[in-house]
Amino acid sequence: MNLAILNYNMGNLASVINALRKVGVEATIEKNPDNILKYDKIILPGVGAFGDAMEHLTDIGMDRAIVEFANSGKYMLGICLGMQLLFEQSEEFGEHKGLGIISGEVRRFPKSELKIPHMGWNRIDEVHQNSIFKGVSNPYLYFVHSYFVDTEEKNVLGKTDYGIEFVSSVQKENIFGLQPHPEKSHENGLKILQNFINL
């Protein structure tokens, strides 16, 4: 199987590569948008700000290539910011347009006594059963984020409680998104990556 991790100059990819290697997959780092349709699966990672990320994607034409890949029906996984980018827009540092592959928007956690960013281990409670969570039930996973996605119930795979209940995992047909970092979530995270590979 051919799997690419998309590189668009947003953060290090070493952890994702290491985790995939641990579950037996040698991923290719791909920064050329013209190449991505040749892969069986892609992972869109991401650390950083939404606006910057979209700018980087658009600059190199990766935005259109990702949409094209999504339309091809092949499996794709967005992690953390990489999941948020799949949506229509974000309110992080002003309004920014996203890739628009899944309907919904990215919002900031409301002010509360809870600390922001939501940083640490929390559970995903499965709303819809899915093979990506095979072998892990309501898993503890590692989160680092200040924004969350707001989307229609039909796209929701799992939710997490952090003062409010927010959407922490999504699926629309061949497109998957995880708010936590499976590559930093010990055995549970590795299992989820393995499940994505097995799709």
Known catalytic residues are: 80, 181, 183
From candidates 8, 39, 142, 148, binder to other proteins by CB under 8 A:
142
**Per-position x/- string for 5-44, each x denoting binding to other proteins as judged by CB under 8 A, each - no binding:** ------xx-xx--xx-xx----------------------
Nearest-Å Rg of the Cα atoms of the chain is 15
Q: How far is the CB of 67 from other proteins (least distance, A)?
A: 26
Alpha helices in 24-158 (DSSP H): 50-59, 62-71, 81-84
8 Å CB contact between 195 and 178: no
- Site for other proteins contains 134 (CB under 8 A): no
Q: How far is the CB of 161 from other proteins (least distance, A)?
A: 5
CB atoms within 10 A of CB 26: 10
Q: How many CA atoms lie within 13 A of 100 on its CB side?
A: 6
- Site for other proteins contains 135 (CB under 8 A): no
Contact positions vs other proteins (CB under 8 A): 11-12, 14-15, 18-19, 21-22, 47-49, 114-123, 139-140, 142, 144, 161-163, 183-190
